[in-house]
Amino acid sequence: MTAIRIEGLQKTYGGVRAVDGLNLTVEEGAVFGFLGPNGAGKTTTIRMLTRLAHPSGGKAWVAGAELGQGTSVAHRIGYLPEEPAFYGWMSPLEFLDHVGRLFGLAPAERKARCAELLDLAGLSQVRKRRIAGFSRGMRQRLGLAQALVNRPEVLLLDEPVSALDPAGRKEVLEMIEGLRGKCTVFMSTHILADVERVCDTVGIINHGKLIVEARQEELLARYTLPAFELECDPGCEGRLRAWADGLSGRYPWLTKASVEGCVVRLLVKDVNEARRDLLPEVARADLALRRYEMVTPSLEDVFLRLVKDGEAVKS
Amino acid sequence: MNLYTALRKELMEQWRTSRLLVVAAVLLVFGLTSPLLAKYTPELLKLIPGADQFAGLVPKPTILDAVAQYVKNIGQFGVLLAILVSMGSLAVEKERGTAALMLVKPLPRGSFLAAKFLALAISFGVALALAALAGYYYTLVLFGPLDWGAWLALNGLMGLEMLVYVALTMLFSTLLRSQAAAAGLGLGCILVLSLVGSLPTLGDAMPDKLVSWGASLFTGQALPAWGAVWVSGGIILAALLAAWLAFRRQEL
């Protein structure tokens, strides 16, 4: 079953195409990481899926209901904006109760659901305090709680942790991880570590277009190349750069060499050949080697490769 | 159902943010002090150095002076309050993002708007009722009894005029993201409606004639302005309809 289907979705602001013919499918039950650099079109896409913005073209279905066809999908989705805003004069209990009333929950069910969600968000102790005095982390947890009041089929989260400190991020990510299997989560972010941690499927968007969409392990297998990292003593940065530049073109197994300070990172096609040639090369160049290792490729490598280098298109 | 939920929240907000209290306090103060001012203006003049010579020229205050003072104070400050309290009704929720968070839920935009207008109407109704009671009581003590029916009609007409400005300012608050700009346009409407109100024939149907009609009920020479009642009702409905039409397609 498909929870979200997007076909040729477009959004234009003046002459700028924020979303440019986006195609995307999210399967039911997935925790989908919608990844992209700032300004890629992530928030605009989510705003269209929640009907807060109107598409300039294309179609989209959320929880089976097509956008703009008059079918209300509000009962079946949950939404957390990047910086959720609340009525500061309310307490979290009052806010969740208000949301429960909007969803038409009966009093007893509303009371139980509020208590359950306050507990989940770790806000039970402050349930009667005014939201105005809440920290950003508390607001974000309350934001997630309010998005879950109606037990949504599809949960749309816009950068749910990007504004939080490490402790706050950990708390909110744990809440999201806890939703696996309970609903479909569509989470936009530009923080790769968060995607690696909680998402099983990833879609990478840039300039309003989807670059790639796949399960995380499939993506890593498809797009990551083995890499070697070599670190030399401080002071030999210039020689290291010249050495790395000299490697390019001489060895067919080398895909890319990048130098940052005293560290050179080499993306290779053939691990065995690279292993055979690299150390003799270092010895010939008389570089004072401090560290030499083969590194595990990360989603960050894939992301940078796909977004920054523009090497791949959706296959 | 959701209109009721939204209205419940709006009324709670009016109460908890002290907006209702401020509106009620301001109108109550003017309701209480208007008959007092009318009664003691000659005495106050005697206390001002240099002005005491004119005190004898001021005629003995009557019950009509108390009504006139009440109409002047409540009429002017009621309209100003209507603009100030309504200016942020939509603009602030759009700017802060609470509108986006709430309207993703099963809350139709029409209900969201209607709840805001109804809550403001209830707040002004309660505040005006308190002012009317206080004004009636002090007028009774200082001057004698007022005609209850005329007093009720006067306050109803003043309330209708306030709602005209509530609806217009809500419309501007819907169209704009700045509450200051909404207030500015609301104040501009006072000027425009007053200017049109000074025109012959057309002026008789403008909202400011509501108060003139209400005041005239105590003079024995009532100047009915049914046209102003219909036009005011029409302005309220048109402003709310325009706000809904704009808001239902607005991106948040």
ipTM of the complex, rounded to two decimals? 0.88
Cα–Cα distances in Å, from B193 out to A176, B74, B203, B216? 55, 18, 9, 20
Check CB contact of A125 with chain B, cutoff 8 Å: no
Q: Do B5 and A52 touch (CB under 8 A)?
A: no
Tokens 């200017």, residue located: B195
Q: Do B104 and A99 touch (CB under 8 A)?
A: no
Q: For the purposes of burial, counting CB atoms within 10 Å of the CB of A125, is it exposed (0-12), middle (13-18) or buried (19 or more)?
A: exposed
* C-alpha–C-alpha distance, residues A288 and A233, integer Å: 6
Alpha helix (H) ranges present in chain A?
42-49, 92-102, 107-120, 136-147, 166-177, 192-198, 216-223, 237-247, 271-285, 299-303
Identify the DSSP state of B124. H
Question: Which 176-235 residues of chain A touch chain B by CB within 8 A?
Answer: none
- The ranges assigned to domains in chain A are 2-215, 225-296
pLDDT digits (tens, 9 = 90+) for B19-30: 999 999 999 999
- Contact call for residues B118 and B10 (beta carbons, < 8 A): yes
CATH number of A225-296: 3.30.70.100
pTM of the model: 0.84
What is the mean pLDDT of the segment spanning B124-149? 94
Q: Pick the residue with more confidence: A236 or B178?
A: B178
Are the C-beta atoms of B34 and B70 separated by less than 8 Å?
A: yes
Is residue A77 within 8 angstroms of chain B, CB to CB? Answer: yes
Q: Where does residue A310 rank: exposed (0-12), middle (13-18), buried (19+ CB within 10 A)?
A: exposed
Encoded amino acid at B63, one letter: I
Q: What is the mean pLDDT of chain B?
A: 92
**Chain B residues inside the 8 Å CB shell of A81:** 97, 100-101
Which residue's structure tokens are 């109460």? B15
Contacts of A50 in chain B (CB under 8 A): 104
Torsion, CA B80, CA B175, CA B228, CA B119, rounded to 10: -60
**Domain A2-215 identical in fold to domain A225-296:** no
- The residue type of A280 is P
Residue A36 neighbours by CB distance under 10 Å: 25
Contact residues, A window 12-71, toward B, CB-based 8 Å cutoff = 47, 50-54
Chain B closest CA to A28's CA: distance in Å? Answer: 21
* CA–CA separation, B41 and A147 (whole Å): 60
pLDDT at A164: 82
* Cα–Cα distance, A62 to A186 (Å, whole number): 11
Quick check: B166 pLDDT over 50? yes
Q: Are B98 and A86 in contact (CB < 8 Å)?
A: yes
Cα distance between residue A12 and residue A19, in whole Å: 7
Whether A72 and chain B come into contact, CB under 8 Å, resolves to: yes
Count residue pairs from A and B with Cβ separation < 8 A.
63
Per-residue pLDDT of chain A (315 residues; tens, 9 = 90+): 799 999 999 999 988 999 999 999 999 999 999 998 888 899 999 999 999 999 999 999 999 889 876 667 899 999 999 999 999 999 999 999 999 999 999 999 999 999 999 999 999 999 999 999 999 989 999 999 999 999 999 999 999 988 788 888 888 899 899 898 889 999 998 888 888 889 999 999 988 999 888 888 887 777 767 888 899 988 888 888 888 888 887 888 888 888 888 899 888 888 888 888 988 888 888 888 889 988 866 677 777 777 765 544 444
- Report the CATH fold assignment for A2-215: Rossmann fold (3.40.50)
Q: Is residue A131 within 8 Å of residue A146, measured between CB atoms?
A: no
CB contact under 8 A, B97 and A89: no
Find all residues with CB under 8 Å of A135, minimum gap 6, and list them: A168
Residue A27, strand partner residues: A2
Closest A-chain CA to B98: A85
A143 CB neighbours in chain B (<8 A) are 101
Give the single-character DSSP code of A286. Answer: T
Side-by-side strand order, sheet with A16-27: A16-27, A2-13, A57-62, A65-66
Residue A312 pLDDT = 44
